[in-house]
């Protein structure tokens, strides 16, 4: 055991996780999952906003609200989750690492690949667990895609299409996410790499509402192993594309539902702790389908399991398992996004110098 003590019953004590930041991500995607997670406790929240402090008090009674990372550390946390604006992720994460505390950093992990690599190398030098919050690896639809791929029913996979598109005509993408390419793009690229491995070339088109703040992105990736990924993200798309279409030599798998339902469930105040085995279950109307010409067969969806992320992180903090997402995966994602920005600026494909890495989903040692 590396952090949490053994309780009187012989069971591991819950891992006390402090949260830095209580904006949209911290409030809805981290706090409820930490507070209600198996083996985790929300041990404190750092925010300097009186409004957000009041929200913490109302939504997590008894959880200390603190104004600094130093105060959070003094409160005796075992680990820290960072959900601050994207431009601060590198500095805050590295500060926590130097304090010797395991870290979850929200996406985008860093603003570019060089910064991402520097943070991961720092964690390795210090021997401190570090991971990135790629919760959408546990989306119902992506988990179903993985199952369909493993079944071999699609034959040789030729093309992967993934869309993360929303209709928000009266708002701009939040600046805290550092632009749609880094925000939605971090999920889109991570999922593609998770499924199909390293990328050797990138072509991208973006539309900016202000310099560096995109509201529409398109990425075409060529994977080392031959699959082509077509990824799109949009903030003002009145007719969102299917969430996934995976084309193979023997058929295609299509998920038309726009997005996994766990986000809306959390925004509605529902949590895995309250719903148990009902959490992440998608209605039949949201299931994907296997298409072979005119023959279409519905495929039951896997449960969404965002609740697994912090359970796995707690095991890593205790020293009983790997971190839920290898931080080097965040470096790979940032490398692709760097190439995408260059491609969009220069109007051409950009090659990435890479070797065939681990099989998709394989844990690095």
Q: What is the pLDDT of residues 235-270, one digit of tens each?
A: 999 999 999 999 999 999 999 988 899 999 999 999
Average pLDDT over residues 357-364: 45
Distance CA 290, CA 179 (A): 34
**How would you class 253 by CB atoms within 10 Å of its CB: exposed for 0-12, middle for 13-18, buried for 19 or more?**
buried
Task: Note the pLDDT of residue 174.
Answer: 81
Pairing mode of beta strands 295-299, 288-292: antiparallel
CATH architecture, domain defined by 15-135: 3-Layer(aba) Sandwich (3.40)
Residue 150 has pLDDT above 60, yes or no: yes
Average pLDDT over residues 183-212: 95
Task: Note the pLDDT of residue 303.
Answer: 97
Residue 171: phi and psi, rounded to 5, are -140, 160
Residue 362 has pLDDT above 50, yes or no: no
Distance CA 339, CA 351 (A): 8
Q: Is the peptide bond before 108 cis (omega within 30 degrees of 0)?
A: yes
Q: With CA atoms as reference, report the closest residue to 90 among 109, 107, 73.
A: 109
Exposure b/e, 123-155, CB count within 10 A at least 16 = b: beeeebbbbbbbbbbbbbbbbbbbebbeeebbe
Average pLDDT over residues 336-353: 96
**Distances 51 to 19, 23, 32, 205, 300 between C-alpha atoms, Å:** 16, 10, 18, 38, 42
Domain 137-305+323-351: CATH class, spelled out: alpha beta
Q: What is the pLDDT of residues 261-316, one digit of tens each?
A: 999 999 999 999 999 999 999 999 999 999 999 999 999 999 999 999 999 999 99
Task: Note the pLDDT of residue 20.
Answer: 98
Task: Note the pLDDT of residue 332.
Answer: 97
Give the CA radius of gyration of the chain. 20
Q: What is the pLDDT of residues 40-74, one digit of tens each?
A: 999 999 999 999 999 999 999 999 999 999 999 99
Q: How do the domains of the chain map onto residue ranges?
A: 15-135, 137-305+323-351
pTM (2 d.p.): 0.92
- Which of helix, strand or coil describes residue 109? coil
**Distances 105 to 36, 109, 164, 321 between C-alpha atoms, Å:** 19, 6, 21, 18
Taking CA 168 as the corner, what is the angle to CA 264 and CA 278, rounded to the nearest 5 degrees? 10
In the chain, how many H helices and how many E strands?
12, 15
Q: Is residue 3 very low, low, confident or very high in pLDDT (cuts 50, 70, 90)?
A: low
251 bridge partner residues:
248
Q: For helices 113-126 and 89-98, give the axis angle rounded to 10 degrees.
A: 10
């Amino acid at each position: 055991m590396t952090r949490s003590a053994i309780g009187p019953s012989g069971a591991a004590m819950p891992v006390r996780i402090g949260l830095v930041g209580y904006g949209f991500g911290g409030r809805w995607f981290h706090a409820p999952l930490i507070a209600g997670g198996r083996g985790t406790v929300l041990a404190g929240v750092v925010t300097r906003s009186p409004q957000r402090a009041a929200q913490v008090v109302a939504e997590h009674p008894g959880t200390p609200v603190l104004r600094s990372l130093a105060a959070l550390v003094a409160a005796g946390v075992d680990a820290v989750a960072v959900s601050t604006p994207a431009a601060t992720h590198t500095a805050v994460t590295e500060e926590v690492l130097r304090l010797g505390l395991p870290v979850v950093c929200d996406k985008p992990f860093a603003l570019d690949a060089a910064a991402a690599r520097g943070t991961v190398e720092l964690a390795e030098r210090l021997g401190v667990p570090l991971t990135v919050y790629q919760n959408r690896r546990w989306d119902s639809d992506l988990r179903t895609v993985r199952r369909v791929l493993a079944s071999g029913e699609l034959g040789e996979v030729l093309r992967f299409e993934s869309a993360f598109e929303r209709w928000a005509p009266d708002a701009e993408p939040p600046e805290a996410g550092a632009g749609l390419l880094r925000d939605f793009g971090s999920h889109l690229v991570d999922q593609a790499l998770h499924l199909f491995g390293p990328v050797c070339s990138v072509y991208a088109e973006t539309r900016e509402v202000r310099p560096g703040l995109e509201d529409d992105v398109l990425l075409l990736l060529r994977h080392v192993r031959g699959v082509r990924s077509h990824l799109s993200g949009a903030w003002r798309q009145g007719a969102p594309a299917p969430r996934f279409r995976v084309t193979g030599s023997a058929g295609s798998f299509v998920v038309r539902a726009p997005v996994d339902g766990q986000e809306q469930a959390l925004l509605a105040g529902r949590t895995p702790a309250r719903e148990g085995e009902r959490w992440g279950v998608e209605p039949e109307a949201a299931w994907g389908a296997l298409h072979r010409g005119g023959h279409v067969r519905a495929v039951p969806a896997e449960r969404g399991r965002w609740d697994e992320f912090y359970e796995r992180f707690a095991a890593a903090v205790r020293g009983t398992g790997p971190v839920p997402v290898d931080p080097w995966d965040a470096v790979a994602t940032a490398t692709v996004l760097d190439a995408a920005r260059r491609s969009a600026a220069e109007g051409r494909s950009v090659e990435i110098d890479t070797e065939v890495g681990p099989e998709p989903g394989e844990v690095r040692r």
